[in-house]
Every structure is written in C-alpha cells, then in structure tokens.
A and B are shown apart, each in its own frame.
Chain A
Amino acid sequence: MDQHFDPIIVAFCCWHCSYAAADLAGTSRIQYPTNIRIIRVPCTGRVDLIHIFKAFAEGADGVLVAGCLKGQCHYVDGNLKAELRVIFAKRILESIGIEPERLEMVFVSAAMGAEFASIIREFVERIRSLGPNPAKLKKHGQLKESTKSRE
C-alpha cells in the first residue's frame, strides 16, 4: 500500500485508564505516530454506535475504542459493554463495505503507557496497509487534499 498515505485515526479514550495511559506515554516521552487523535469520554461505556459511525462518515480511516483492562473498569463493566458495541459495529461496517479491521477495541490500564504507544504504532500500520477509508473516497470522490499532502 501507499507508504505516503497518512491515515487519520480517532481514538475514544476513557478518562480513568486509556486516557491516563496516553498521558503516561507522553510523560515518558515514548514516541508514536501523529496519526492518532484522542477524544476523551468518561468511560468507553459512553461510546455509542453513532459516535463510531460519525467518525467514519467524517473521514476517519480507523477508529479505536480504548477502555480499562477487563475487570478493572471504574464503572464496573462499561468496557465490556463497549466491546459488545464494537463487535456489533464491525458487523455493520462489513455489511456496508468498510473493512471491520478499521475499528478495534483495546484494553489498557493507566500504568500501560508503553503498551498504549505500541498499540497505536501497530494500529497505524494496520490502517496504513488497508489504505484510505472507502467511505471518505466516496464522499469526496477522491482523497482529501490534506490527506494526500500530509507526509
């Protein structure tokens, strides 16, 4: 796939764990690609299907939902509810011709800064090899200018 393709990935991060893991990655100066843009939610249990689809509709090439480790959700099991939603959303994506691999649910604790960074690195590579979000291509008829020139 095009090595110059620079995907945009939206990550929904829960305030207690994955958001803090991202903070820790930063504080530890662990480097990861700039492709990821984080949206803070109180808990991944708050992430609705419409948020995921909105991100794809607006041109995100990938979407991550990052919650606390299983069994460690600060709101009991919001992360597990989110996981079920993500599984469901993947099925819908597939049925409308978007690769379900563009969406992923991951689990990290607030202490897992390094792991968070490597999840990001791997996910960016995955999306890079999938190429641009087909919905975006359809919407704009072509790659958005900004996506092409960002390298």
Chain B
Amino acid sequence: MSPDNAKVGVFICHCGKNIAGVINVEEVRRFAEKLPGVVVAKDYMFMCSQTGQRLIKDAIKEHRLNRVVVASCSPKLHEPTFRKCISEAGLNPYLLEMVNLREHCSWPHLYEPGKATEKAKALLKAAVERAKRLEPVKSVKIPVIKSVLVIGGGVAGIQAALDLAEQGFRVYLVERSPSIGGNMARVVKTFPTDDCAMCILSPKMSEVASHPNITLFTCSEVISVDGHVGNFTVRILKRPRHIDEEKCVACGACEEVCPVLVPDEFDLGMRMRKAIYIPFPQAIPRVYLIDTDKCIRCGMCAQVCERNAINFDEKPKELELKVGAIIVATGFEEFDPSPITEYGYGEYDNVVTQMQLARMLDPLGPTHGEILRADGKPAKTIVMIQCVGSRDHRFNKYCSSVCCMVALKHAQLIKLEHDPQAEVYICCIDIRAYRKGYEEYADRARELGVKIIKGRVSKVEEDKKSGKLKVYVYNVVLDEVMVIDADLVVLSSAMIPSRGTQDLAKILGVEVGPDGFLKELHPKLQPIDTKIPGIFICGCAQGPKDIPDSVAQGSAAAARAASLLSRGEITIDLIIPEVNEDLCRKCGICVRFCPFNALELPPEGKSVRVIELKCKGCGTCAAACPTGAIQLKHYKDEQILAQIEGILGV
C-alpha cells in the first residue's frame, strides 16, 4: 500500500496527569489532526481503559482507519494491549505505532512543559510518517513442547519442579552440585518457627528423586540454549561422579577406606571429608562421588565396593533436552567478608559467618552442635555483626533481607538450646523483622536477654595470646563507643548471586540487574517473568529472600510455565527479513553477519534464504547488506528513514 493511501488515526492519552500535567495534549492533538494522512485525532484520559480502547475501535470503524498511532506510555507496557485492541477491530496488530509520551517525554521533562510539548509533536510526526509505511506482519502457530527445564535444585527449584510434575508435565531438574537441597539444607532450623530445616526439606527432596515425571541431573550445568518459547533446545554438561548412580547404595564402605582428607564444602571447610564422599547424610541422589582433583587413584575404594560401582574412566557427558519453558532457580551464596579487613575474617580464627555458625548449631555438624572457639573451648560471649557487605556502598547497596532474622534465630538457639548463660549481642543498623510472625520472634529474642545494639561495628581486634576478640561498636542510643570482649564474632554476611549467574544469564539471554541478581520483567506486575518469553525466575536467584518467599516464587514460576505449556501452541510474529531477489548479489555478507545462522545461501546461484524460526529479528543482516536487498519487516529502511524525517520535521 502506498503511504498516500494511509488513513491514520491518532489517539493521545492523558494518563491522568502523568502526560497531560506536562504536555499540552490539546495542542498536540490539533497538530496531529493537520498532519498529512491523519484522518482523526482524539485524546482521552486513559486510553488503555476499556472506554479508551472502545474509542479507538469505534474510530477505526467510523473512519475506516488502516493505521493507528497511540501516544501514551512506553510500548514496553501497553504495546501488547493496543495491538490486541486494533486486531479486535480487524486490523493487523502491526499496523500500530506507539509514541512514548510518558517515559520519554513528560516524566523526564517535568519542568519544561513548552519544550516537552514541542518534542511530543516531533515524536508524533515521526510516528505518523512511520505508521503510513507500516505493513501487516504474519504470524505462525507452533506447537509447545510440554516439558520444562528447572535450573538449580534449592528449595525454590524443588518447589517449581514438584508443582509442574504434579500437573503432569515432564521436568528436567539440573543441579550443579552433587545433591539438591541448596542452602536450606545447611541452615539447621528455620525461623520463625524453628522447625528443623532438614525435616521439612528432605521429604521434598525424596519426592523429587522418586517422582516419575522428574528427571534429575546432578553435577550438571547448562552450556547452551537455543530456540525460543515453546521450543528450546538445551545442552547439558554432566560431570562424571565416577560412581555408577544405578549401582551405588551409599553403604559408605569406600569412604571408610579412602585415605585422602579434604576440607568439606558443605560445612564450609570446618570439617574434613574424604576424596570419595557424599555431600551430606540426606543428600539426593544418595550416591557417592569422587573428587578427582584430590583423589590419588590408590584404588582402595574400588577394592571394597561390593557393587562394582566405581568407574575411574567415566567421562563428562553432553546431553540435549527439548523443553517448552525454562525456570531459573540458581539461588545465592554467602558473600566472602575477607575484603572487609576491619572485621578480620580469614585473619582471626574466631571470626566466622552466620552460615558457619549454622553448621556449628547442627547436631550432625562439624562441632556436633556445640558453639566452640577455634581452640575447642566453648564460646561464652558471642557478638553478631549485621549488614556485612549489605547496605554498605563499598560492596552491595541492597539489604540481604534475611540476616536480621538469621541472627535472631541463632541468638535464640544459643540461649534456648545451648547455654542460657551465654551473652549474645547483635550489633545492627536496625532490626528488620517485617513478615508475619517475625516481630513476635524478635520480641522473644529480647525477652531471652539477647542484647540488640544499634550501631555499626568499626573494628574487631584480636588478642594474639588468648584468641579473644575486642569488638568496637558505636552505640547510637547511648552515643558512646562500646568495647565488647568476645569469644566468637559472627558476621551476617550478604547474600550474593550464585557464582556463574552472569554466565548463565548470558547463555539464556536474560538480564541481570545492577546488584547482579537476575532481573524480572516488571518489579511489581511480572516479578517471575524475564524479558525472554518462556524463561522464568524464582527464589534467591531473583534477589535475597527467605524460604517462604522462595517457595512462593517457585510455585509462581511453575504456574507461569504451566499456563504457557497447557496452551498447546503459541503464536510467533514473523519479524524477519525479506529478500528482494532482483537486488540480492548473493555475496553472502548477511549470512556471515547473522548471529543466529538464520540465513543461508543456497547453491546454484539462488538468493539468500531466511530460516524463519531461527531468526530473532535483530536486523543486523539488513544493515550489512550492500545493496539493500534484505529488509527487516517492521524495521525497513523506508520506515526508519520516514521516521527520521518526521522526527526532524518539527
């Protein structure tokens, strides 16, 4: 269709006062009305409302519009709304052009109404010029593969996997470490009810192991992801355990004879394990593995293994999975506080982190549940330091959200279950106990005599001989510096994204925020979605949170994936290149430029061919083509050039 035959309708939204409070909407409307090709220009308080959409649909019918321009908020928010709206009135959804009057004009120019109005006119003229040259875009329906990949087997990933498996979907759960369970497996008891973490987690872990719809891959990582929503191809690298998962019954005979001792990861180095080991007693799968970096190949384990399960020659395996959706639940790790030199972590033996204290509190842990100093003597005075690496602009600005509750929990467990006489101090900026039952929990700690001191700790000093520590804290309530003699200092260290989160994000094409955690599509309304359709996030991978929130998000991610999979098929709009055979010189530059191998040059001198579903619509090919033979649909040169002319024409 020639641009001259375009009948454009312009619809300008006030967005309450958000737009109209800065931009003179009536002036812009009158300007729009006079632009060549514009048949009607209307304004309305909330164009996205039912009534606003009705107004657009009626105008399309009444004026026989064939192009629509909506000037409102960011297309990131309401382009889908208005595309649907015009398609309900019989137009192809791509015959819509939006003007971002709110995010790109009224909001960043709040105090320059005159200039903002002028800018609005320019943006609008550009949109009208572009709209006149828009063409319908075709879409295809493709079937959805009814299986899901869950990455990370912490409590969030476990919850997501179980929810989906229960609904009958096939789930592949990929866990990097040798067991599922994540950090919750380490925390011993859980606030605010102090029930034993393992007692509530391990039934869920066993269910994962036995569920017919779940396939579990441990010691495994995702190395590539291809495809698109509904149809992803995922490659997994499975590192060898060197022990046959089918044969091993975890009898432990191998462990007994293994002569190699290695610091144990699960207990954060506070105890030694063997080179052949199971990460913790309740590990799932209940299968040993060999740490080949440390193993000396003495072969003693193989000699005692009655089931011949040991295989030193096992090689890493690559597997390929086809899934319709992906859930990322890669969780967090504890920030290493050694860069905060004033607290002496890594330098003084009696400075530990909360996770290390959690391990000490475990009856099966390295100290059998005793709170001990490094020299093995019981710790009588314990000082906890909050916000270590959180709310600290040198490290992480954010609040790690659970540390106040973790400190209160550990303080109470010490008082209630270990030593009522022990002195426990919590030095903090403030106590954040915001959820149901949390403030009551904090009250109980106060009643038990836990001393909460408002103030940041400036330094910790060690007496070399006794190993005793001096903690200097400025008490803001008393307005004085307190010096506390402590046996043990416990750092409430920040939650940071799991190692490798950035790399995984890159493989998936999802974003990370400035804090390094995976970024949700919308912080309020789409907290589980990512910018890649079909990829969802949950748990601490998205940001610091406690177990109830991680579980809730795990379920939410499962629900989001299920609603996608149960649709059976999805529609993909073909924003792909078109090739003008007369102009194509078959030079192959575009084929080389395409990052997705979506173009091919057939033999026998035919012009370039587009592989529709591989193309992601970036348009790199179009910019690279020396003759203009390739044009990306919806972003054709003609359309962009007209937009440039329009934007500079005011």
Contacts and interface: CB of A to CB of B under 8 A. Distances in A.
B116 A23 contact: no
Interface in A64-95: 71-72, 74-78, 81-82, 85
B112 interface: yes
Interface string B29-57: 00000000000000000000000000000
A54 B645 contact: yes
Interface string A15-53: 010011011011101111110011111110111101100
Contacts of B641: 50-51, 54
Contacts of B541: none
Contact of B624 (A10, A32, A55, A81): A81
B365 interface: no
B620 A37 contact: no
Interface stretch (B470-478, B552-560, B611-619): B611-619
B647 A10 contact: yes
A111 B510 CA distance: 13
A110 interface: yes
Given A75-B595, A81-B620, A55 B644 contact: yes
Contacts of A110: 511, 519, 531
Contacts of B506: 71-72
A138 interface: no
A31 B109 CA distance: 6
Contacts of A40: 75
Given A26-B103, A26-B104, A27-B103, A46 B620 contact: yes
Contact of A39 (B75, B126, B511): B126
Query: Which of B109, B619, B622 has the most chain A CB atoms closer than 10 A to its own CB?
Result: B619
B109 A34 contact: yes
B640 interface: yes
Nearest to A120: B108
A131 B595 CA distance: 39
Given A48-B623, A51-B644, A54-B645, A117 B108 contact: yes
Contacts, number: 142
A26 B109 CA distance: 9
Contacts of A59: 648
Nearest to A46: B619
A148 B620 CA distance: 38
Contacts of B647: 10, 37, 39
Between A6, A26, A77, A82, the greatest number of chain B beta carbons within 10 A of the residue's beta carbon is seen for A26
A13 B637 CA distance: 16
Contacts of A85: 623
A39 B644 contact: yes
Given A29-B110, A51-B644, A111-B513, A75 B76 contact: no
A8 interface: yes
Contacts of A29: 107-108, 110
Contacts of B273: none
B643 interface: yes
A73 to B, nearest CB: 8
Contacts of A74: 509, 531, 618
Interface in B631-650: 632, 635, 637, 640-641, 643-645, 647-650
A127 B649 CA distance: 19
A16 B617 CA distance: 12
B326 interface: no
A50 B108 contact: no
Given A58-B644, A58-B649, A45 B623 contact: yes
Interface residues of A, number: 52
B100 interface: yes
B643 A39 contact: yes
A30 B103 CA distance: 10
Contacts of B513: 111
A78 B648 contact: no
A38 B622 CA distance: 20
Interface stretch (B64-72, B117-125, B250-258, B444-452): B117-125
Given A42-B575, A42-B618, A72-B506, A10 B76 contact: no
A81 to B, nearest CB: 6
A64 to B, nearest CB: 13
A60 interface: yes
A46 B648 contact: no
A22 B644 contact: no
Contact of A10 (B616, B618, B620, B644): B644
B619 A41 contact: yes
A143 B647 CA distance: 17
Given A27-B103, A37-B123, A32 B108 contact: yes
Interface string B444-481: 00000000000000000000000000000000000000
Interface in B93-111: 100, 102-105, 107-111
Contacts of B622: 46, 48
Given A51-B644, A58-B649, A75-B618, A22 B103 contact: yes
B280 interface: no
Contacts of A81: 593, 620, 623-624
Contacts of B118: 34, 150
Contacts of A34: 105, 109, 112, 115-116, 118-119
Contacts of B617: 42
A131 to B, nearest CB: 17
A67 to B, nearest CB: 11
Contacts of A32: 108-109
A45 B618 contact: yes
A23 B74 contact: yes
B108 A25 contact: yes
A146 interface: yes
B616 A75 contact: yes
A26 to B, nearest CB: 3
Contact of B619 (A26, A27, A30, A42): A42
B514 interface: yes
B580 to A, nearest CB: 15
Nearest to B649: A58
A150 B117 CA distance: 12
Interface string B3-29: 000000000000000000000000000
A39 B640 contact: yes
Contacts of A75: 595-596, 616, 618, 620
Given A30-B108, A110-B519, A112-B514, 18 more contacts: A10-B644, A16-B531, A23-B103, A25-B108, A26-B103, A31-B111, A37-B119, A37-B647, A39-B644, A41-B619, A42-B575, A45-B620, A46-B635, A51-B641, A55-B644, A58-B648, A74-B618, A78-B595
27 contacts: A16-B531, A22-B104, A23-B100, A26-B108, A27-B103, A30-B108, A31-B111, A32-B109, A34-B105, A34-B118, A39-B126, A41-B640, A42-B635, A43-B620, A45-B619, A45-B620, A46-B619, A51-B641, A54-B644, A72-B506, A72-B511, A75-B620, A81-B593, A81-B624, A109-B511, A109-B514, A111-B519
